[in-house]
Structures are given as structure tokens and as C-alpha cells.
Amino acid sequence: MLDNDKIATICINRIWNSNGSLDSRMESERIRVRDAYNAETPAPARKGSSKYVSTDVFDAVESLGAQLVETFGAAQRPVRFAPQGPDDVEPAREATETVAYVVERQNNGFKIKEDVIKDGLMCRMGVVKVWWEE
């Protein structure tokens, strides 16, 4: 049986290992995509070559991002709590409204969704950190 300290140590080691491996594998890909998104690559191969740079990556990220934001960002209620019985109807409705208010109004949920979708399209990973403060 593992105690809490051993579990915490295992988790911390796994997190550190995953971060290092992900960064080393994806960093060059992220730079390549960012440069293509910003129309900075490919640079002319030699003097006198065409200076045309395609904006295909920018166009793809923006158009697909807009579709995904519309799909996931249009909902005014990010979650819906379903009552388990007749006594739960009002608490479920209140919980649904509370979460909608906190996510959408207090934390600008639409902008968060927009940012994480763009990060996901450009970096192959979009992360949102969530926590609750009393």
C-alpha cells in the first residue's frame, strides 16, 4: 500500500518527465507553425527568389478557429446540472446558473475558449487552469 508521500512523489516525477519530453519533442514544431502563421517562413532560398510567403496556415487557423469558437463558445451555459430527483430540481438549476455566471461573466469564458482553441490549433495543445477560491 502506498502512503500519501509516495503517491505525491510518483505524481511529481511523472509530471516532470512528461513536461520535459513534451517540450523537447514539440518545441521545434511550435516554432515552425508560429513562423508559418505569422507569414515569416519560408524565407527566399536565394537572392532574386520570389518573396511570396503563403498565409495558408494563418487562414486555416483563423477559419477553423472561428468555427470551433462558434461551436463551443456559443453556449451561455458551459454545463448543465441534471437533477437526480424531485428535490434536486431547484438546486440543479441554481448550480447551472452559478457556474454559467462564474465562467462566462466573472472569468470571460468566451475569451478563454477562444484562446485555448487557438493554442490547440497552433501548438497542438490548449490548456486552461481551473481553480476555486472561497
The pLDDT tens digits of the residues spanning 6-47 come to 898 888 888 777 655 555 667 778 888 888 888 887 766 677
pTM over 0.75: no
Q: Which helix (H) or strand (E) holds 20?
A: helix 4-37
Cell 465562467, located at residue: 103
CA-based nearest residue to 101, from 130, 129, 79: 79
Q: What distance in Å separates the CA atoms of residue 131 and residue 134, rounded to the nearest whole number?
A: 10
